[in-house]
Structure 1
Amino acid sequence: MKVNRLIWTATAAAVLTACGGGGGGKDANAERAIPEGTTVTLALLETTDLQASVMSYNYYTMAEDTNLGMERTSTLVNQVRAENPNTVLLDNGDNLRGSLMGDLQTLVAPVGCDGTMAVHKAMNAMKYDAGGFGDHEFNFGLSLISQITNTDLKIIDIRKPTGPCGAPAFPLVLSNVTGVTLGRAILPPYVLLPRDFAATAPDGGKLSVKVNIGVMSFVPPTMMEWDKSKLEGKIVVGGVQEAARKYIPELRSKGADLVVALSHGGLDTSAYSPTMENGSYHLAGTGIDALMIGHSQLIFPQARERGGPALDPSFAALPASAGVDAVNGFVKGVPTVMAQSAGRRLGIIKLTLMYNGGKWVVQPARTTVEARGFKYADGVTPVAADPAIAPLVATEHTAAKALTEQSLAVTADFASQAYFALAGDVGATQLVNQAQADYARQVIAASGDATIAGYKDLPLLSASRLFKAGGKGPQDYLDLPAGDLLVRNVGDLYPNGEDIVQVLKISGAELKSWLEAVAGQYGRIDPTLETEQDLVPSFAGLQDYDVFYAADDALSYGVDVTQPAGGRIVDLLHQGKPVLNGDSFLVATSSYRAAGLAGGKTVFSSLDSVQTILRNYLVAQGVATGHVVTGPGNWRFVPVRMAGPLILRSAPGHLDLAGGLGVITAEGGTDAKGYGRYTVELGTPAEERTQRRQRSKPR
Structure 2
Amino acid sequence: MAHVSPATLSRRRFIGTAAALGGYTILHPFSVQAAAGQAHLRILSTTDLHCHVYPYDYYGDQPSDTVGLSRTASIVENIRAEATNTITVDNGDYLQGNPMGDYIAYEKGMNEGDIHPIIAGMNALGYDAGTLGNHEFNYGVEFMDKVNAGAEFPIVCSNFAHSLGATPLEDELHLEPFVILDREITDGNGESHPIRVGLIGFVPPQIMLWDRSHLEGKYATRDIIQAAEAWVPVMREQGADIVVALCHSGITPGEITENMENAALQVAGIDGIDAVVSGHHHRVWPSGDFEGEGIDQEAGTLMGKPATMAGFWGSHMGLIDLLLERDGDGWKTVSFESSARPIYQRGEDRKVQALVEDYAPTLEATAEAHAETLEYVRAEVGTTEAPLQSYFAVVSDDPSVQVVSQAQAWYVTELMKGTEWEGLPVLSAAAPFKSGGRGGPDYYTNVPAGPVAIKNVADVYLYPNTLQVVAIKGSDVREWLERSAGIFNTITPGEKDQTLIDPTFPAYNFDTIDGVTYQIDVTQPPRYDGDGALINPDSHRITDLQYNGAPIDEDQTFIVATNNYRAGGGGSFPGADGSTVILRAPDTNRDVIVRYIVDRGTISPASDGNWKLAPAGGATVVYDTGPAALEYLDDVKSRGLDIEPAGDAPDGFARYRISL
Normalising by structure 1, we get a TM-score of: 0.58
The answer for unaligned runs of 5 or more in structure 1 is: 1-18, 20-34, 151-166, 303-310, 439-459, 522-543, 559-571, 578-601, 605-611, 639-648, 665-699
Q: Contact 1:556/1:632 (CA < 8 Å) preserved in 2?
A: no
Q: How is 1:299-318 mapped onto 2 (pairs within 5 angstroms)? A: 299-302=284-287, 311-312=288-289, 315-316=290-291, 318=292
Q: Are 1:254 and 2:233 counterparts?
A: no
Q: Which residue of 1 aligns with 2:454?
A: 487
Q: Which residue of 2 aligns with 1:198?
A: 186
The percentage of counterpart residues that share the same residue type is 26
Q: Which residue of 1 aligns with 2:593?
A: 618
Q: Contact 2:110/2:116 (CA < 8 Å) preserved in 1?
A: yes
Q: Contact 2:397/2:612 (CA < 8 Å) preserved in 1?
A: no
Q: How is 1:108-507 mapped onto 2 (pairs within 5 angstroms)? A: 108-150=107-149, 167-180=150-163, 184-200=172-188, 205-284=189-268, 285-302=270-287, 311-312=288-289, 315-316=290-291, 318=292, 320=293, 323-363=294-334, 366-375=335-344, 380-407=353-380, 415-416=386-387, 429-431=400-402, 480-481=448-449, 485-490=452-457
2: CA distance between counterparts of 1:520 and 1:248?
A: 44
Pair 1:396–1:659, CA change in 2 (3 A): same
2: CA distance between counterparts of 1:178 and 1:219?
A: 11
2: CA distance between counterparts of 1:298 and 1:508?
A: 19
- Classify the secondary structure of the residue corresponding to 2:361: coil
Q: Contact 2:56/2:67 (CA < 8 Å) preserved in 1?
A: yes
Pair 1:370–1:391, CA change in 2 (3 A): same
Pair 1:141–1:516, CA change in 2 (3 A): farther
> In the TM superposition, what whole-angstrom CA distance separates every residue of 1:257-297 from its partner, at most 9, and x where no partner exists?
10111111112334434422222222222421111111222
Q: CA deviation at 1:92?
A: 1.2
Report which of the two structures shows the higher radius of gyration computed on alpha carbons. 1
Pair 1:263–1:575, CA change in 2 (3 A): same
> In the TM superposition, what whole-angstrom CA distance separates every residue of 1:513-541 from its partner, at most 9, and x where no partner exists?
799888999xxxxxxxxxxxxxxxxxxxx
1: CA distance between counterparts of 2:143 and 2:35?
A: 48
* Larger displacement relative to structure 2 (366-375 or 323-332): 323-332
RMSD: 5.0
Letter in 2 for 1:398: A
Letter in 2 for 1:554: Y
Q: CA deviation at 1:209?
A: 2.1
Q: CA deviation at 1:348?
A: 0.5
Pair 1:478–1:47, CA change in 2 (3 A): closer
- Classify the secondary structure of the residue corresponding to 1:394: helix
1: CA distance between counterparts of 2:605 and 2:146?
A: 46
- Classify the secondary structure of the residue corresponding to 1:220: coil
- Classify the secondary structure of the residue corresponding to 2:318: strand
Q: Contact 2:181/2:196 (CA < 8 Å) preserved in 1?
A: yes
Q: Which residue of 2 aligns with 1:574?
A: 543
The answer for unaligned runs of 5 or more in structure 2 is: 1-13, 15-33, 165-169, 410-428, 465-480, 501-506, 523-540, 547-570, 574-586, 617-628, 643-660
Pair 1:465–1:361, CA change in 2 (3 A): closer
- Classify the secondary structure of the residue corresponding to 2:374: helix
2: CA distance between counterparts of 1:196 and 1:274?
A: 39
Q: CA deviation at 1:123?
A: 0.9
- Classify the secondary structure of the residue corresponding to 2:344: coil
Q: Contact 2:396/2:611 (CA < 8 Å) preserved in 1?
A: no
Q: CA deviation at 1:383?
A: 0.7
Q: CA deviation at 1:345?
A: 0.9
Q: Contact 2:405/2:430 (CA < 8 Å) preserved in 1?
A: no
Q: CA deviation at 1:330?
A: 1.1
2: CA distance between counterparts of 1:507 and 1:89?
A: 39
Pair 1:292–1:616, CA change in 2 (3 A): farther
Q: Are 1:64 and 2:63 counterparts?
A: yes
Letter in 1 for 2:297: A
- Classify the secondary structure of the residue corresponding to 2:119: helix
Q: Contact 1:67/1:382 (CA < 8 Å) preserved in 2?
A: no
2: CA distance between counterparts of 1:514 and 1:107?
A: 50
Letter in 1 for 2:275: A
> In the TM superposition, what whole-angstrom CA distance separates every residue of 1:624-644 from its partner, at most 9, and x where no partner exists?
988735569747999xxxxxx
2: CA distance between counterparts of 1:253 and 1:261?
A: 16
1: CA distance between counterparts of 2:511 and 2:483?
A: 14
Q: CA deviation at 1:144?
A: 2.5
2: CA distance between counterparts of 1:496 and 1:234?
A: 23
Q: Contact 1:36/1:357 (CA < 8 Å) preserved in 2?
A: no
Q: How is 1:65-80 mapped onto 2 (pairs within 5 angstroms)? A: 65-80=64-79
Letter in 2 for 1:367: F
Letter in 2 for 1:373: P
2: CA distance between counterparts of 1:372 and 1:287?
A: 27
Pair 1:650–1:141, CA change in 2 (3 A): closer
Q: Contact 1:431/1:626 (CA < 8 Å) preserved in 2?
A: no
- Classify the secondary structure of the residue corresponding to 1:389: helix
Letter in 2 for 1:299: V
2:518 to 529, 534, 554: 554
Q: CA deviation at 1:72?
A: 0.4
- Classify the secondary structure of the residue corresponding to 1:350: strand
Q: Which residue of 2 aligns with 1:628?
A: 606
> In the TM superposition, what whole-angstrom CA distance separates every residue of 1:634-671 from its partner, at most 9, and x where no partner exists?
47999xxxxxxxxxx9779x99x89977999xxxxxxx
Q: How is 1:15-94 mapped onto 2 (pairs within 5 angstroms)? A: 38-94=37-93
Q: CA deviation at 1:398?
A: 0.6
Q: Contact 1:435/1:617 (CA < 8 Å) preserved in 2?
A: no
Letter in 1 for 2:456: N
Q: Contact 1:347/1:370 (CA < 8 Å) preserved in 2?
A: yes
Letter in 1 for 2:211: D
- Classify the secondary structure of the residue corresponding to 1:60: coil
1: CA distance between counterparts of 2:262 and 2:180?
A: 25
> In the TM superposition, what whole-angstrom CA distance separates every residue of 1:427-475 from its partner, at most 9, and x where no partner exists?
555448859999xxxxxxxxxxxxxxxxxxxxx99678878xxxx9xxx
Q: Contact 1:70/1:343 (CA < 8 Å) preserved in 2?
A: yes
2: CA distance between counterparts of 1:493 and 1:268?
A: 30
1: CA distance between counterparts of 2:228 and 2:641?
A: 63
* Larger displacement relative to structure 2 (178-187 or 98-107): 178-187
1: CA distance between counterparts of 2:68 and 2:237?
A: 39
Pair 1:614–1:301, CA change in 2 (3 A): farther
Q: CA deviation at 1:349?
A: 0.6
2: CA distance between counterparts of 1:173 and 1:407?
A: 40
- Classify the secondary structure of the residue corresponding to 2:194: strand
Q: Contact 1:505/1:603 (CA < 8 Å) preserved in 2?
A: no
Letter in 2 for 1:249: P
Q: CA deviation at 1:74?
A: 0.7
* Larger displacement relative to structure 2 (280-289 or 390-399): 280-289
2: CA distance between counterparts of 1:59 and 1:508?
A: 28
Q: CA deviation at 1:224?
A: 1.6
